[in-house]
Amino acid sequence: MQHSYLTAFVFAFLSIRAAAQDVSSVIRAERSFAAHAVQHGVRSAFLAYTDSTAVAMDNGQYENALAQWRQRPESDIQLIWGPQYAGASGDGASGFTTGPYYMKHPGTDTLLLAGQYTTFWVRGLSGDWKYLIDFGIRFPKRLYADPPPNPITVSLTPDPQATPNKAEETFLQNYRTAGKAAYEGVLDEHSWLNLERHVPVSKADRFLELIGRMPVAPEFRPVGSFLSAAKDLAYVYGDVLYVGRKAHYLRIWGHSPAGWKVLVQVMH
C-alpha cells in the first residue's frame, strides 16, 4: 500500500514538474516571437511563427493567417508585447499566452495604440512553436502597463472523456437559459476576460463584474475548435452577436480537478 502511495506521489510530482517546464517553453516561444518582431520587423516575425493552418478573424470573416501575412506589405511600425498569463497542456504540445501590447514609431516613446493579445500555440515534430490563433483587443493607450517579469501560470489535469467541444457545448446550454449567470460555474481565480475597449481583468469576481456591464447577453456561435492530445486544454472560436452587430470571440478552456474552466475569453 505504501509503495502504491509513493508511486502515485512520484508520478504526480513529475507531472507537475513537466507541466511547469512546458509552460516555460511556451513563454520562451512568445518572448522569442516578440524579440523577432523588434529585430526583424512585424511581418517577418509573423511569417516565422504562424502555423500553416492558423486562423485569422477579421470583420466577420475567417481566413488563413499565414496567407494573410504573406500579402501584407513591410512596415517600420514597431509592435511590442509580452506574456502576462500562460498555460500548457500536459503533453507539452500546446499552450497559450495573453498579455499587453503597444505599437509605436521607431525612435519614439509615443504609443500609437495599445491592447491585449491572446495566442494559442502548438509545437511541431521538429520542436518549433507556431501559433494556431492570435486574437487581440484594444483599450485606451493611456492605460497601458508593462507585463510582470514572471507571468502567472495555470496547472491542468486531463479529462479522459473530453471532446473538442465538450466544455463549450455544456456552457452554451446553460448560457441559453441562465444568461450571464452561467459564467459563475466555469470561472476560477485566474479566469481572464479581454473585452474590446476595456482593460483586461482577471479573477472570477472582476470577470463577472465586467461581463455584467454589457447591456444584453451576447449570442455565441462556435465556428472552430481544438483539443490538446492530453485532453486538458482546448479552445473554441466563432461569431458573437451583440445588438445590431457581429463580432468574434475566442474562449480557451482548461481542465482542473474542479472541472473545465474558462482560462481566457476574448471578445472583439
Which domains are delineated in the chain?
2-154 (3.10.450.50), 166-267 (3.10.450.50)
Name the nearest CA neighbour of 46 among 60, 71, 66, 61: 66
Burial class from Cβ neighbours inside 10 Å (0-12, 13-18, 19+) for residue 141 reads middle
Please state the rounded mean pLDDT for residues 167-187. 95
DSSP string, 116-152: EEEEEEEE-TTS-EEEEEEEEEEE-GGG--PPPSS-E
Residue pLDDT, tens place only, 49-70? 999 999 999 888 999 999 999 9
Bridge partners, 158 (sequence order): none
Residue pLDDT, tens place only, 10-42? 333 334 444 555 899 999 999 999 999 999 999
DSSP string, 144-202: --PPPSS-EEE-----TT--TTHHHHHHHHHHHHHGGGGGGGT--TT-EEEETTS--EE
pTM reported for the whole predicted model: 0.92
| Helix/strand/coil for 267 | strand
What is the chain's mean pLDDT, rounded?
Answer: 91
Q: For 108, which DSSP code?
A: -
Residue pLDDT, tens place only, 210-251? 999 987 889 999 999 999 999 999 999 999 998 778 899 999
Q: Is the pLDDT of residue 113 over 90?
A: yes
